[in-house]
Structure 1
């Protein structure tokens, strides 16, 4: 199977960092790339939302949001067995969120098999970005007492979480895409839609450099993160299957929701967690999500989740 170029850019950054190259992206550029990606993901979700009859998909959308909140809450206690609070919260946020590229490969897989699926699954992808990030930030900042964790009470904490840059950009992009619609967004679609993947390559190049700089921490938890990277997606796919059946999705829809549940974000989550939880080690979350789970899902996971869906259909 052909390797997606975005993964190759990540590997380039990783190799350059391990080789002690002087390759480095300006910090201002990284910040700009993060803002662009978060905003573009939101706009894509808003455009998908604008194409759907709201009242028909609202119950499904609410269940997807619930799933996005539930996944990090389920896996956080397991991660805390081996990881510090901030790292466990960051990894949980990555796995509660979803991978755009994994979703795209899942769509291609179903298309090749001529298996139909619901169009609103694209909306589900966008919706899954948000709740896990909010839950992840809360988990990272709370040790049971919001005031102790942040120096402020619950009100200040929730203000920081819900009005942090990453959440504002995702929600703002969602609103812009929904209000503007496919026609209204045309004057800027070449920037936010057509350039999404090229910008993503630069972002992942930087993330490869970041991970290489912290590879020692990944070695420290290597076996555990390998188990996480393979075991979590298989287990979480059943969460997606359960929600898909509850929502009454078709076989293809259940497969895609299982794929989304089993995937881990390496776009929105790294950007959001680096902004909101800077003390978390990105080598752990990206090492598991991009280094283990992503290739596992592409090579083994998606066909496996489809067989799971067939078995319970």
Structure 2
């Protein structure tokens, strides 16, 4: 319950309530975009400063490898299960959404750990960046496979040439994933933090530390408004999909906990790995899927992730994952 009296979480809940009563309160898109970039930059700097002290150790490599492994396994499992209940394209889109990560959920979890004085590795910010792309690539592979099967079954055109295949290039998706502005800002800030070390940390203290809590609260207010306005999209959806949006993250977090236990990760790193595995993307993946998988229904994957999973993780999931990680990994 301590999480519920945190100002940032209360602003999120306030945003949900304001959106539910259809208030005209809103954060201009440009300001919302700035807040998002600020949080990523501050998070990258924090991670870089921490890495400048700890260095790139074997444990860091193991944690990053575990994160990438989860980012591949989770969408594969999700697609296999969901294809039994929805179309292949919708299954690929939802699996990609839940196989990727939410930066805001991760940032909120980092703040929660700091409030509880629980140590964590700065490299976990890099883990977040690495976990964003594999699910998108897999979704494109799934979609291209479905299109090829459809093309083979299509009737040939009048002149006898095969029907065209409207696949999306995996190379193009890779390029856009790794050159995305938010991704580059996070990794660039981390590199700058590593290079500048303690001197950079002191210089950036007013920006990356003192302002962080307030900026996070403001951004979570906006996220609360968005969550409330996207919740109606979930109405009428299959109970199986709604159950997946609730139970799936818990299963994914359990997978991450088991992996953290086997790899002997710290409680802080294990908790963040659980948060990453349990989160679902509502910005990067939907933006790519709109043109990479136009056959999928955006209200399905966007509504589930932002309307159900994101609020549950922010309000209840993070403190539960941290408590479980402390009990199992310490």
Distance 1:66 1:149, change over 3 A: same
Of the three residues 273, 277, 286, the one matched with 1:261 is 273
Aligned pair count reads 296
C-alpha contact 2:75 2:96 (8 A) present in aligned 1:
no
Matches within 5 A, 1:57-68: 57-68=59-70
Q: Does 1:284 align with 2:304?
A: yes
Alpha-carbon distance in structure 2 between the residues aligned to 1:294 and 1:23: 21
**Residue-by-residue CA offset, 1:114-147 (whole Å, 9 max, x unaligned):** xxx8x5x322531331122112333454513698
Alpha-carbon distance in structure 2 between the residues aligned to 1:76 and 1:268: 12
C-alpha contact 2:32 2:222 (8 A) present in aligned 1:
yes
Alpha-carbon distance in structure 2 between the residues aligned to 1:180 and 1:223: 51
C-alpha contact 2:99 2:135 (8 A) present in aligned 1:
yes
Alpha-carbon distance in structure 1 between the residues aligned to 2:209 and 2:95: 32
Distance 1:217 1:75, change over 3 A: farther
Matches within 5 A, 1:243-258: 243-249=259-265, 253=266, 255-258=267-270
Distance 1:232 1:309, change over 3 A: farther
Map of 1:130 onto structure 2? 129
Map of 1:219 onto structure 2? 235
Alpha-carbon distance in structure 2 between the residues aligned to 1:202 and 1:149: 40
Alpha-carbon distance in structure 2 between the residues aligned to 1:72 and 1:25: 33
Map of 1:173 onto structure 2? 189
> Alpha-carbon deviation of 1:264?
4.7
Map of 1:114 onto structure 2? none
Alpha-carbon distance in structure 1 between the residues aligned to 2:84 and 2:325: 27
Matches within 5 A, 1:166-245: 166-221=182-237, 223-224=239-240, 227-228=243-244, 230-245=246-261
Map of 1:44 onto structure 2? 46
Point out where structure 2 has 5 or more consecutive residues left out of the alignment: 148-164, 291-297
**Residue-by-residue CA offset, 1:268-293 (whole Å, 9 max, x unaligned):** 94454465456575442133333223
C-alpha contact 1:90 1:277 (8 A) present in aligned 2:
no
For normalisation by structure 1, the TM-score amounts to 0.76
> Alpha-carbon deviation of 1:79?
5.0
Matches within 5 A, 1:55-134: 55-70=57-72, 72-77=74-79, 78-79=81-82, 84=90, 85-94=92-101, 99-102=106-109, 105=112, 121-134=120-133
**Residue-by-residue CA offset, 1:160-205 (whole Å, 9 max, x unaligned):** 1110122212211221211122312432331122212211222222
Aligned-residue CA RMSD (Å):
3.6
For normalisation by structure 2, the TM-score amounts to 0.73
Of the three residues 140, 144, 148, the one matched with 2:166 is 148
SS at match of 1:94: coil
Q: 41-50 or 268-277: which moved more? A: 268-277
- Give the number of the structure whose alpha-carbon radius of gyration is greater: 2
**Residue-by-residue CA offset, 1:4-40 (whole Å, 9 max, x unaligned):** 2222222222222221211121121112112212222
Of the three residues 25, 28, 47, the one matched with 1:26 is 28
Alpha-carbon distance in structure 2 between the residues aligned to 1:273 and 1:7: 24
Point out where structure 1 has 5 or more consecutive residues left out of the alignment: 112-116
Alpha-carbon distance in structure 2 between the residues aligned to 1:89 and 1:95: 12
